[in-house]
């Protein structure tokens, strides 16, 4: 019965179902039909007994995981629920000993105070204290570009602040789209077309008939998300002919788009699609993403240069130019952020390919020197903590009747020194980075952590792995915190919500 109750709790919290479901007569009848011996708990028992017990168990396990991680990155964001309650979500990310990315939600609690920098800083500090995370373990924290967050993190807490790639890219794309007057007129007609179909049953029925089995759902633009504009455009282009024919049949000729407007929409799709692809590419929390930020910026800039060589009308040329200027302006800070530079260098897919070879503060030379410093610092730190036991053998571990074991001990230490792991490692850091640069670059689809896992038994590159774990754990975006916005439909109070989130 205990296993069934545990499964019930996990079903409710992981599916974000309301806790009151256990009191629903139809759900109870369903469970009884499965096994009449099962007695479901009431909501009160679930809230005050089962959930707290499993929360305590899950929290203890996560505290242990966090204590074993040498470096932890955070994301944070504020959001407002449907009941107008203000929440802040904080997530943690780290690379475990198997060189796999681990992402966990630490906190989702109501903020009952104003969102000043001081209050945000105090809340973040209380969250990491609650999870026994020392401040010196924090590699960085990713948030949007709000001034209160930036001041709280950089000025008050003195932590490393990393701006959210997705949020910054959204700001870079929105203005060129909506400040373009002629394109805004076309977009307004698109919104009106979608609204018409959403509010007209006969029009939707006719459209479905003309689609001949194709998906006929037109998507409306959502003002807060720039890519919803692209989604709306794509949905219209996919149904251009049936939409046009339906509008004619329904005598809505004022909504018809002419050939030039359709061509402009098609050009806008070609122009904006790469931005959407790379935004989604950075939004996962299950693989390293920060290392792809600088390469993505460069690829988008090259895309804007390349597309200008195609035949674009004046509206699209203006949009393209505005995008180019906005990209340069919005992403200056990223090229000055050491976390982006070093993580890109440590990604076997990129190394120095997207770093300037000549720029003293943001280029390849800076990245390599920083990695060498990090290797030296982390090696010294491990030695101080007593973790540098590799190659050390006590006399008791060597069999007294087999002197040949002394040879094994000797060559073990010699091999470690040659590979850059032994006590004379400091002289080998430049050799290590040179060996790393000799490795062939990998395709975009390859997992960099998988590449590093294959090097865990390769002595020459082992000193780089602690540095990889420090930087690769940082997400490119604050999406891990934002993803909870749409999933919070449960009706449990704030404290229960906090307990539910830890199970995700």
Quick one: 271 and 311 in the same domain?
Answer: yes
What integer is the mean pLDDT of 264-285? Answer: 92
Q: Is the pLDDT of residue 18 over 70?
A: yes
Any domain includes 488? yes
What's the CA gap between 180 and 186, in Å, rounded? Answer: 10
> In a 3-state reduction of DSSP, which class is residue 282?
coil
Strand partners, 162: 142
Q: Is the pLDDT of residue 326 over 80?
A: yes
Any domain includes 100? yes
Quick one: 231 and 362 in the same domain?
Answer: no
Looking at residue 472, its pLDDT comes to 95
pLDDT band of residue 388 (cuts 50, 70, 90) is very low
What's the CA gap between 15 and 146, in Å, rounded? Answer: 31
What's the CA gap between 220 and 192, in Å, rounded? Answer: 9
pLDDT band of residue 458 (cuts 50, 70, 90) is low
Give yes or no for a contact between 124 and 152, defined as CB atoms under 8 angstroms apart. yes
Looking at residue 485, its pLDDT comes to 59
Which positions ≥6 away from 390 have C-beta within 8 Å?
416, 421, 422
Give yes or no for a contact between 489 and 86, defined as CB atoms under 8 angstroms apart. no
What integer is the mean pLDDT of 46-52? Answer: 90
- Better pLDDT: 249 or 504: 249
What integer is the mean pLDDT of 443-466? Answer: 88
- Better pLDDT: 374 or 84: 374
Query: Helices 314-330 and 259-281, interaxial angle, to 10°?
Result: 20
Write down the residue that tokens 């991680």 correspond to.
Answer: 69
Q: Which two tokens stand for residue 54?
A: 């499993």
What's the CA gap between 181 and 473, in Å, rounded? Answer: 42
Give yes or no for a contact between 462 and 375, defined as CB atoms under 8 angstroms apart. no
- Torsions phi, psi of 162, nearest 5? -120, 120
Nearest to 160 by CA among 131, 124, 129, 126: 124
What's the CA gap between 18 and 51, in Å, rounded? Answer: 13
What's the CA gap between 305 and 324, in Å, rounded? Answer: 8
pLDDT above 70: percentage of residues in the chain: 85
Question: How many Cβ atoms from other residues are within 10 Å of residue 222's Cβ?
Answer: 12
Residue after which a domain boundary falls, among 290, 306, 335: 335
What integer is the mean pLDDT of 222-244? Answer: 92
Any domain includes 374? yes
Nearest to 299 by CA among 285, 282, 283: 282
Quick one: 355 and 433 in the same domain?
Answer: yes
Looking at residue 27, its pLDDT comes to 93
Any domain includes 248? yes
Give yes or no for a contact between 476 and 101, defined as CB atoms under 8 angstroms apart. no
- Torsions phi, psi of 141, nearest 5? -135, 130
Quick one: 281 and 188 in the same domain?
Answer: yes
91-to-346, 371, 401, 440 alpha-carbon distances in Å: 24, 26, 55, 34
Looking at residue 387, its pLDDT comes to 46
Residues 391-437: pLDDT tens digits? Answer: 444 444 444 456 666 776 766 666 655 555 554 555 588 889 999 99
147, burial (CB in 10 Å: exposed 0-12, middle 13-18, buried 19+)? exposed
For residue 467, the surrounding DSSP H or E stretch is helix 465-472
Quick one: 121 and 143 in the same domain?
Answer: yes
Quick one: 180 and 317 in the same domain?
Answer: yes
> In a 3-state reduction of DSSP, which class is residue 355?
coil
Residue after which a domain boundary falls, among 45, 64, 83: 64
* Total residues found in the chain within this entry: 504
Residues 55-88: pLDDT tens digits? Answer: 899 899 999 999 999 999 999 999 887 778 888 9
Any domain includes 229? yes
Quick one: 103 and 92 in the same domain?
Answer: yes
Looking at residue 398, its pLDDT comes to 45
> In a 3-state reduction of DSSP, which class is residue 72?
strand
Nearest to 102 by CA among 113, 111, 110, 93: 93
> In a 3-state reduction of DSSP, which class is residue 140?
strand
- What is the CB-side half-sphere exposure of residue 105 using CA atoms within 13 A? 22
pLDDT band of residue 489 (cuts 50, 70, 90) is very low
Residue after which a domain boundary falls, among 286, 310, 335: 335
Q: Which two tokens stand for residue 471?
A: 């930087």
Q: Is the pLDDT of residue 482 over 60?
A: yes
Any domain includes 455? yes
Any domain includes 118? yes
Looking at residue 480, its pLDDT comes to 83
Exposure b/e, 317-337, CB count within 10 A at least 16 = b: ebbbebbbebbeebbeebbeb
Quick one: 195 and 313 in the same domain?
Answer: yes
Write down the residue that tokens 């890519």 correspond to.
Answer: 227
Quick one: 457 and 316 in the same domain?
Answer: no
What integer is the mean pLDDT of 476-482? Answer: 86
Which positions ≥6 away from 66 have C-beta within 8 Å?
72, 92, 94, 131, 132, 133
Q: Which two tokens stand for residue 472?
A: 């690769």
What's the CA gap between 118 and 125, in Å, rounded? Answer: 11
How many domains does the chain fold into? 4
Residues 186-225: pLDDT tens digits? Answer: 999 999 999 999 999 999 999 999 987 676 789 999 887 8
Any domain includes 398? no
Q: Is the pLDDT of residue 292 over 90?
A: yes
Give the N- to C-terminal CA distance of the chain in Å, as an integer.
Answer: 23
Quick one: 79 and 34 in the same domain?
Answer: no
Write down the residue that tokens 């002629």 correspond to.
Answer: 182
74-to-33, 94, 476 alpha-carbon distances in Å: 45, 9, 11
Contacts 24+ apart (CB under 8 A), 150-158: 151/117, 152/117, 152/118, 152/120, 152/121, 152/124, 153/121, 153/124, 155/117, 156/117, 156/118, 156/121, 157/121, 157/124, 157/125
Q: Is the pLDDT of residue 234 over 90?
A: yes
Quick one: 88 and 175 in the same domain?
Answer: no
DSSP calls for 199-232:
H-HHHHHHHHHHHTTS--PPPPP-TT-THHHHHH
Question: How many Cβ atoms from other residues are within 10 Å of residue 354's Cβ?
Answer: 21
pTM, entire model = 0.83
DSSP symbol at 409:
H
Looking at residue 283, its pLDDT comes to 80
Name the residue range of residue 144's domain: 69-164+478-494+497-501
Strands 101-110 and 138-143: unpaired
Quick one: 151 and 207 in the same domain?
Answer: no
Residues 343-365: pLDDT tens digits? Answer: 999 999 999 999 876 544 568 88
What integer is the mean pLDDT of 130-159? Answer: 95
Looking at residue 396, its pLDDT comes to 42
């Amino acid at each position: 019965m205990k296993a069934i109750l545990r499964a019930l709790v996990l079903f409710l919290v992981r599916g974000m179902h309301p806790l009151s479901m256990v009191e629903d007569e139809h759900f109870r009848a369903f469970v009884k039909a499965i096994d009449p011996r099962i007695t479901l708990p009431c909501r009160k028992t679930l809230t005050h007994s089962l959930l707290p017990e499993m929360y305590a168990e899950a929290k203890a396990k996560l505290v242990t995981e966090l204590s074993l991680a040498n470096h932890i990155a955070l994301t944070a964001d504020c959001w407002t629920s449907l009941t107008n309650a203000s929440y802040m979500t904080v997530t943690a990310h780290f690379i475990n000993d198997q060189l796999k990315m681990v992402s966990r939600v630490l906190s989702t609690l109501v903020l009952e105070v104003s969102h000043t920098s001081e209050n945000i800083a105090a809340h973040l500090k209380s969250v990491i204290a609650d999870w026994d995370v020392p401040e010196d373990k924090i590699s960085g924290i990713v948030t949007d570009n709000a001034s209160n967050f930036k001041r709280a993190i950089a000025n008050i807490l003195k932590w490393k602040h990393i701006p959210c790639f997705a949020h910054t890219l959204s700001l870079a794309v929105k203005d060129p789209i909506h400040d373009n007057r002629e394109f805004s007129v076309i977009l307004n007609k698109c919104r009106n077309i979608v609204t018409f179909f959403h509010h007209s049953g006969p029009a939707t029925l006719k459209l479905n008939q003309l689609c001949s089995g194709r998906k006929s759902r037109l998507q409306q633009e959502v003002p807060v998300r720039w890519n919803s504009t692209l989604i709306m455009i794509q949905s219209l282009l996919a149904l251009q002919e049936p939409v046009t024919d339906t509008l004619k049949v329904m005598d809505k000729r004022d909504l018809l788009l002419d050939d030039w407007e359709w061509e402009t929409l098609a050009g806008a799709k070609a122009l904006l699609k790469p931005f959407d692809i790379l935004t989604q590419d950075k939004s996962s929390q299950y693989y390293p993403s920060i290392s792809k930020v600088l390469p993505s910026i460069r690829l988008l800039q090259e895309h804007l240069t390349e597309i200008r060589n195609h035949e674009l009308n004046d509206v699209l040329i203006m949009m393209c130019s505005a995008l180019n200027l906005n990209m340069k302006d919005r992403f200056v800070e990223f090229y000055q952020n050491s976390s982006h530079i070093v993580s890109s260098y440590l990604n076997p897919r990129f190394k120095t390919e997207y770093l300037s070879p000549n720029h003293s503060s943001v280029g390849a030379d800076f990245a390599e020197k920083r990695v060498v410093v990090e290797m030296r610092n982390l090696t010294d730190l491990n030695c101080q903590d007593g973790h540098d036991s590799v190659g050390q053998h006590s006399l008791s571990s060597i069999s007294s009747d087999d002197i040949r074991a002394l040879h094994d001990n000797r060559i073990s230490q010699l091999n470690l020194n040659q590979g850059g792991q032994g006590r004379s490692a400091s002289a080998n850091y430049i050799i290590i980075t040179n060996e790393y640069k000799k490795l062939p670059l990998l395709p975009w689809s390859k997992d960099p952590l998988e590449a590093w896992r294959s090097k865990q038994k390769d002595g020459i590159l082992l000193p780089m792995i602690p540095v990889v774990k420090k930087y690769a754990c940082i997400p490119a975006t604050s999406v891990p915190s934002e993803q909870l916005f749409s999933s919070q439909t449960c009706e449990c109070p704030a404290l229960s919500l906090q307990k539910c989130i830890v199970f995700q």
